[in-house]
Amino acid sequence: MKKERHIHKIKDHFLSKEFFSLEYDVKTEVLKTKPKPAFEKMSGYYDSKKYLSHQKSGQTLFSKLYFVSKKIMLSVKIKMVTKLFCSTGNALDVGSGTGDFLFALKKRGWSVTGIEPEEFARKEASKLGVQHTQSLKNCDQQEFDLITFWHSLEHVYSLKETIANIVFSLKKGGRLIIACPNYNSLDAKYYKHNWAAWDVPRHLRHFSSKSLENILEPLGFEQTKVSPLILDSFYISILSEKIKKSKMSFFKGVIIGAISNINGLFSKNFSSQIYFFIKKSN
């Protein structure tokens, strides 16, 4: 890894104001957040009404724009799943939040299960009739046709254990979809330690565009497609400008986000990307 990309000190700008380091793994190209907080302390780093992914609506203009983009992306996600499957099946969404994605699948005939550690989000999901299991460990047979991680794999406490459970719980021929930030994107390089998508320590690890392929291919998965999340570059860049306390942060963030997306067309490194895998073997 090039030295200029190895950022040693990242601040938790969102909540605790603590500093963390990033440790690079040569084999997988994963950056690990260090020190890793104790498991029982992790919930405290999410304990804020400003943590939008666990909410149902926003109060500020920026948060309202977040929920508008969330609705747009929900439609995009459902179209992606529809293209992958000729018929419905069993779906598991890890980090399911308030359950909107699973509810949309349920309305289309899917049998759905969510995993979400945050109690308020689980209660909101239950109002939609979306049921939860506590962890992948509870899935004691290979029963899922689809497992999804929409910006949640970077949050799981034990990546090794999670991947092992995916291998066990996903049917042969089943699909795995993972969306996550990409630290090789232009906006990540531009903002460096102020890049909002570091989001330490809630993001316990950080992926390059090759990390997931490096991890999953030896375990019998084939990467079939990579798609950009175009809106994410704008959202992350605006947040990054806010971290910098820039004047006209919204305007500057939109410009950097657009430049990052244009660069991604050539470099194939967008701010966030969706990785599609198929399980080829048990």
- SS3 category, 229: coil
Residue 67 half-sphere exposure, CB side, CA atoms within 13 Å? 15
User: Which backbone phi and psi does 200 adopt, to 5 degrees?
Assistant: -70, 150
Q: Between residues 83 and 48, which one has the greater pLDDT?
A: 83
Whether 92 contacts 147, CB under 8 Å: yes
Q: What residues have CB less than 8 Å from 38, skipping those under 6 apart?
A: none
> What average pLDDT does this structure show over 266-278?
98
Whether 99 contacts 124, CB under 8 Å: yes
Q: Average model confidence (pLDDT) for the chain?
A: 89
Whether 136 contacts 115, CB under 8 Å: yes
Whether 167 shows a pLDDT value over 80: the answer reads yes
pLDDT at 70: 80
pLDDT at 1: 42
Residue with tokens 């860049």, as numbered in its chain = 237
* AA letter at 245: K
DSSP letter at 74 equals: H
pLDDT at 258: 98
Q: Which of 79-83, 138-142, 234-238, 276-280 has the lowest mean pLDDT?
A: 138-142
Q: What is the pLDDT of residues 54-80, one digit of tens each?
A: 455 555 666 667 667 888 899 999 999
Q: What is the pLDDT of residues 204-259, one digit of tens each?
A: 999 999 999 999 999 999 999 999 999 999 999 999 999 999 999 999 999 999 99
Q: Which helix (H) or strand (E) holds 121?
A: helix 119-127
Name all domains of the chain by residue range, CATH numbers in brackets. Answer: 3-39+135-279 (3.40.50)
* AA letter at 171: K
Supply 145's token pair: 């046709």
Q: pTM here?
A: 0.91
User: Which backbone phi and psi does 207 adopt, to 5 degrees?
Assistant: -110, 145
